[in-house]
Structure 1
Amino acid sequence: MTAQTAPVSFDAFRTIDLRGTHLSAAELRAAMPRSTTASFDSVASRVEDIITSVRTHGFDALSELAQRFDGVDQLHPLVPAEALTEALRSLAPDVRAALEESIDRARTFAQAQKPQDVVVDIRPGAALTQRWVPVDRVGLYVPGGLAVLASSVVMNVVPAQAAGVQSIALASPPHKDFGGMPHPVILAAAELLGIHEVYGIGGAQAIAAFAYGVPGDGSRAAIEPVDVVTGPGNIYVATAKRLVKGVVGIDAEAGTTEIAVLADDTAQPRLVAADLISQAEHDPNAASVLITPSVGLADAVRTELSVQVQATRHRERVETALAGPQSGTILVDDVEHGIAVCDAYAAEHLEIQTAQAPAVAARIRNAGAVFVGDYSPVSLGDYCAGSNHVLPTAGTAAFASGLSVFTFLRAMQVIDYSADALREVSEHVIQLAQAEDLPGHGDAVRVRFP
């Protein structure tokens, strides 16, 4: 090994030492490594301007934004059908086979998630039903910036189809190098899944176009508004989703990717380091966090990072991510303490590389997805586990879920009472209506029994 490639300590990967501390839940959350480069507040005004522009000026705004952000001249963002067909025809056979396997596994899991309707006879003649009904139309966003996430086409489309959604539109940033259309692998994945309404629109403007629609103007066909918007993206996409929530449903505010690894001294340092790098290569703001009670493991992982980072293709991006305030090692007293830290951090992706990993994983409460043991790396979930990789980030996994069939379903209640069943409970309704000073409620029951 030459002097140039000899491993050295990766000092940029900082350490937060929580050993011996007794922090409250709020203090523990505050101690977690988080990015300081961008926040919702820092970009909200710019995103609001983009949304307002799209709502006010429609296709003219989309054309101006495509030129400003993507360097693309665009009259209408709809991708022609022949471009989708050609993208799939030109797709490398190995990549097509990989996409087909990913689709098959994701579809198997998604179809198994779909809940059954529930019918309950509360009393004779008093039937209640909970029906699961798919939304009518969804808009799916697929990033296309530093990484071309064709796998996100699979992760967005498959659960929507499994839920029974009939109208599915997809947007991804246009590229100057591809004739002002999204990346051809993204187009091929859409065609493979039977999605023919694909738009070359990126960022916050795509979310705005889906949420509010874009009226047609004679020569340009309208983009119809959707009921739900899903998909990962950068801080601008996440902020746009936050701002349109309530106008449409959203999956989660999925921002820049993150991984946490809870590991003890049974873990293999080279595996931990490789997994931290795998998510760091997404974005300079990606978060890679090791949580461990073992100083020896932490040192060994730092050494492995020094070696593996030198060899990785996106070295500069990875180094920036690992050196950022959102990344580092958190030292804890023991695995029990580590579980508490994991729940405070609420990682998008959490790997458990400890002794008795399944038992430890079963105790985790806050995570987008949990990957158990040496042979369940996050990259498996990114592509071919069958699970979904669109997951909550930045601590929102404490209250939000990842993308699934449920994202595209609504629970509708149906109440069906006979006259005898209503008569049985009528006096209770009347009494409660009087207690709330809403006599018309009671009268609506009385009038049925003159």
Structure 2
Amino acid sequence: MFENLSERLEKSFKLLKGESKITELNIAETLKDIRRALLDADVNYKTAKTFTETVKQKAMGQNVLNAVKPGEMMVKLVHDELAVLMGGTSTDINLKGSPSIILIAGLQGSGKTTFTGKLANLLKTKRSKNPLLVAGDVYRPAAINQLQVLGEQIGTTVYTEEGCKDPVKLAKDGIAVAKKGAHDVVIIDTAGRLAIDEQMMEEISAVKKAVNPDEILFVVDSMTGQDAVNTAKEFNDRLDFDGVVLTKLDGDTRGGAALSIRSVVDKPIKFVGTGEKMEALDVFHPNRMADRILGMGDIVSLVERAQEQYDEEEARKLQKKIAKNQFNFDDFLKQIQQIKKMGNLKDLAAMIPGMGKMLKNIDFDDDAFKGIEAIIRSMTPAEREQPSIIDGSRKKRIAAGSGTTIQEVNRLIKQFDDTRKVMKMMTTGNKMGKMMGKMPIGKRR
């Protein structure tokens, strides 16, 4: 995500290297290069032009401190302006209705149905809501089946009407069922449609009028770039939607939609899809996205993802086990499951400042843990509980059961032992720190 843009912007800032102050002359080439980088990322031409003109005006009005280099000042200006361009601050969805009604719209294939499931999962797990999903795509049986599968996966009720071809009736009936069933949120999935299809546009307008939704979200496939922005404008003219959802932002996208859509339709980006899993949905934070575009990482989001998987009671139990050197392969397996729930590995690593650039040409396999899990699951309960009993014959059986080699089993056991030693040392770190604090300064190393 944004890899090419990040690299191009970094090169643009280097044009100011060696300059002692910002002048109209020395930033001209930098701004020209920044504009080219934005256009290559499929950003709307007018948006790119306005962006660089704004940065220029702010740069020329800056009194640069001696301690701040012009290149560093330009990075800050571009960062701040990128955040403004994408909306400035995050915008929440409106859930004030009883029940709250959310209407999902967009082109066919944009990821509406998957997003509907993800949104329900987010509202259920993070906001303690009881959502009802309405399968409103009356033209595509596969969409109804997909929503039913997703609903079962996340433990959420899906309302359907077999044979019903009237999306307005379906939506109204779904809301009535929600009120009887104590559902506090209704999310209505709709059929994909082209903005030029007048009949379909009239249909979704009729659904909007009939149910009077608290929130209308327009789902955009980030991979379609500038076309997505143009489509969003046409949909907004008809529906006056409340926010945008960008899907597939974890793919090979140039980022033009994320950077242009707010300025073109004047509606906030509210969510971004970052993977196929139901947990792979993030609230959109313009400032954090600007950080990531400029290679500064996104530690806040990384910590938030980790906290979502964090169980205080489990953590306390685990700490006691580590202190007693009782950390075993079952515990190890649980930690792997938590990491996997946080998202794809490359995306997580890119949130660490500086790592995105280092990992640019490295392919991360999302199944990187598969071999490790296979080995652990091939162990008996006793072997997982007491790794020390795993001898040569047991290793041979484990390797055969997991489809790996004895060398791979040996390597995992060694890595596990090393991990356990480090974790044991960390639990006694506070004691060690206190001891070092009492040492004379001259003797510290």
TM-score interval for Structure 1 and Structure 2 normalised by the shorter chain:
under 0.3
Higher relative contact order (CA 8 A, sep 6+): 1
| Greater per-residue strand proportion | 1
TM-score (norm 2): 0.24
| Greater per-residue helix proportion | 2
